Chain A
């Protein structure tokens, strides 16, 4: 599992889709269970994130050749 971590937006969209599918018709058990597991894992991940209370602040800096770099800001303002 080397996929990049899913974004919050993606997880919430996925969750909506899972709920809709589980509440719909025509699922096989394997699929229903897999969707259930996936749904619960998204819920747990997002819950974990909600409690991750540190605001991360970074400063954008123009790098060479039109690139953009970031550096952490410890004392904003």
Chain B
């Protein structure tokens, strides 16, 4: 191919070393190097066309081992070669399928090594519901489902009274504040273990997975909450990542997912033992309510006390009956045996703490329910319960003037 005349061939775009190409006769125009021509064409293309969105059908998608992706975009009458470089390709949730309609943002340029005109894409969006996100979601869903990780029978019950709750979320997000507020109102005795993680953007999935494993490995948490506040599909995408799903699935303690988005279910929601709609809702499910627990305790106390009271009543009847029978039989026996039996009766009475209670002795019980056996166990002004034969009397020590005896 002979070089064609070109106006202003001696201009600024002269290729390095091109000056020596002038012939001695001076008539022949300068010949450009191939590189120079491509460089000029490239610059023209790039300056003439701003970054733009192109819509078309994907064809021949190839992800090279280098991480770069090559594909064509076409419509009914035309086609353009496209490339998506690795750094941008990493952000794709999934590779588009053949024939898929996409919109892609990028710029037109020229690949100088081949002199090929091409489109360098920076972003690709699938058209239709969910686009590439939907494809990625469904692919991972099928994979995890096939492994049984989404099975309902894998779901573990949450502990009713966790001592420690691990929270995997952004340390600077509103989600953390929401959860802390709920826990401090409902169960302020709870130990909260913050396992901070980035919840969106590049590296978020692996960071979330690391933070979940850290909480699981600590052995300190009784339940783990993994979550963040609401956001766009892209913001929430880390919660649809396989490494996050696997970290949740391998946790030895139950996991509550709390991705603040009620409409989209994430893969994390499906793998978790419980899905909560928001971080606040997750915290509510994780810890019991203080008022409800106080009621539960009060009921337990009533039942413990009445349980013991019933026990005493029942046995007292039985001892009464035995005593009556004994007395009857004593009346029928000789004086000698009468004395003997009478002694036994007294012994029985003396040995039984119930007999003691019935005879008017009382047992002081401390707040912890322990028997107060010594003067030292009482404090001036301290409260205690006095257990008598048929019940309990709440008491208080009036003054410190204790009378102490030996023994």
Contact = CB atoms under 8 A, between A and B. Distances in A.
Interface string A32-71: 1101111111011011011011111111101000101010
Interface in B298-334: 300-301, 303-305, 307-308, 310-311, 315
Contact of A58 (B193, B305, B369): B193
Contacts, number: 141
A50 B370 contact: no
A62 B192 CA distance: 17
B311 A77 contact: no
Contact of A22 (B195, B304, B354, B369): B304
A77 B369 contact: no
Given A57-B180, A60-B214, A66-B217, A50 B189 contact: yes
Contacts of A70: 193, 218, 220
A57 B165 CA distance: 10
Interface residues of B, number: 55
Interface in A2-40: 7-9, 12, 15-16, 18-19, 22-23, 27, 29, 32-33, 35-40
Given A12-B160, A60-B215, A46 B193 contact: no
Contacts of A76: 171, 176-177, 180, 194
B294 interface: yes
Contacts of B297: 43, 46-47, 50
Nearest to B180: A76
A38 B194 contact: no
Contacts of A22: 303-304, 307-308, 311
Contact of B163 (A8, A27, A41): A8
A68 B188 contact: no
Contact of A53 (B188, B192, B217, B308): B188
Interface in B202-218: 211, 214-215, 217-218
Given A9-B159, A22-B307, A41-B369, A58 B215 contact: no
Interface string B11-43: 000000000000000000000000000000000
Interface centre among A40, A41, A49, A54 (most CB of B within 10 A): A40
B369 A32 contact: no
A35 B211 CA distance: 43
B303 A60 contact: no
A9 B190 CA distance: 12
B220 to A, nearest CB: 7
Given A12-B160, A36-B369, A19 B300 contact: yes
B16 to A, nearest CB: 54
A57 B300 contact: no
B369 A44 contact: yes
B300 A43 contact: yes
Contacts of A15: 300, 304
B311 A32 contact: yes
Contacts of B193: 58-60, 70
Interface string B154-189: 000001111100100001110011001001100011
Contact of A39 (B162, B217, B304): B304
B337 interface: no
A60 B195 contact: yes
A35 to B, nearest CB: 8
A59 B194 contact: yes
Contact of B194 (A29, A54, A58): A58
Nearest to B211: A60
Interface in B346-405: 352-354, 365, 367-371
Given A36-B369, A40-B301, 5 more contacts: A12-B161, A22-B303, A36-B304, A44-B369, A60-B195
Interface of A: 7-9, 12, 15-16, 18-19, 22-23, 27, 29, 32-33, 35-41, 43-44, 46-47, 49-50, 52-60, 62, 66, 68, 70, 73, 76-77
